[in-house]
Chains A and B, each alone.
Chain A
Amino acid sequence: MADITQLMRFDDLASKDSPIHNLEGRIKLISTIFIILVCVISKEIFIPIILEIMLLIILKIANLSYLDSARRLLMLLPFGGAVIIFQPFIQPGNIIWSYSWLHITDVGLNWAILLLVRMIVCLTAIIIYSSTTPLQEMASSFRKLKMPRDLAMILSIMVRFLFLFVDELAAIRKSQKARNFSIHSKTTPYKWRVKQVGYTIGMMFLKAYEQGERVHKSMVSRGFSDASEMFDEKKSPEKSDYIYLLTIIIVVIILEIILFKYSGQLGYFGQNLAIN
Chain B
Amino acid sequence: MHIPDGFIPISQCLIYYVILIVALYFSVKWAKSNLDEKHIPLLAVLAAGIFAIMSMNMPIPFGTSGHMVGGALVAIVFLAPEAAVLVFTVVLLIQALIFGDGGITALGANVLNMAIVGGCVGLYTFKALNGTIGKYPAAGVAAWLATVIAALACAIEMGIAGTFPMNIGIPSMVLYHFFIGIIEAVLTVIVLVALDKFRPDLLAWNEGDA
Contacts and interface: CB of A to CB of B under 8 A. Distances in A.
A140 B6 CA distance: 27
A33 B5 CA distance: 11
Interface residues of B, number: 76
A166 B51 CA distance: 9
Contact of B168 (A41, A90, A205): A90
B59 A193 contact: yes
Main SS at interface, chain A: helix
Given A80-B7, A150-B40, A204-B53, A36 B103 contact: yes
B44 A153 contact: yes
Given A169-B56, A201-B190, A276-B9, A2 B101 contact: yes
Given A40-B10, A80-B4, A122-B103, A208 B49 contact: yes
B47 A158 contact: yes
Contact of A2 (B44, B55, B186, B190): B55
A197 B52 contact: no
Interface in B45-100: 45-59, 61, 63, 65, 67-68, 73, 86, 89-91, 93-100
Contacts, number: 248
Given A86-B164, A198-B190, A210-B199, A123 B100 contact: yes
Interface in B12-39: 13, 24, 28, 31-32, 37-39
B148 interface: no
A154 B161 contact: no
Tell me which of B45, B91, B101 has the highest count of chain A C-beta atoms within 10 A of its own C-beta: B45
B158 interface: yes
B24 A148 contact: yes
Interface string A73-98: 00010011001001000110000000
B165 A90 contact: yes
B98 A165 contact: no
Contacts of A211: 45, 49
B163 interface: yes
A178 interface: no
Contact of A206 (B2, B59, B199): B199
Contacts of A86: 164, 168
A262 interface: no
A102 B28 CA distance: 51
9 closest A-B pairs by beta carbon, nearest first, are: A208-B49, A198-B190, A118-B6, A202-B194, A157-B44, A212-B45, A276-B162, A183-B59, A2-B99
Interface of A: 1-4, 7, 10, 32-33, 36-37, 39-41, 76, 79-80, 83, 86, 90-91, 115, 118-119, 122-123, 126-127, 129-130, 135, 138, 148, 150-151, 153-159, 161-162, 164-166, 168-169, 183-184, 190, 193-195, 197-213, 215-216, 219-220, 224-226, 275-276
Interface of B: 2, 4-7, 9-10, 13, 24, 28, 31-32, 37-59, 61, 63, 65, 67-68, 73, 86, 89-91, 93-101, 103-105, 158, 161-165, 168, 183, 186-187, 189-191, 193-195, 198-199, 202
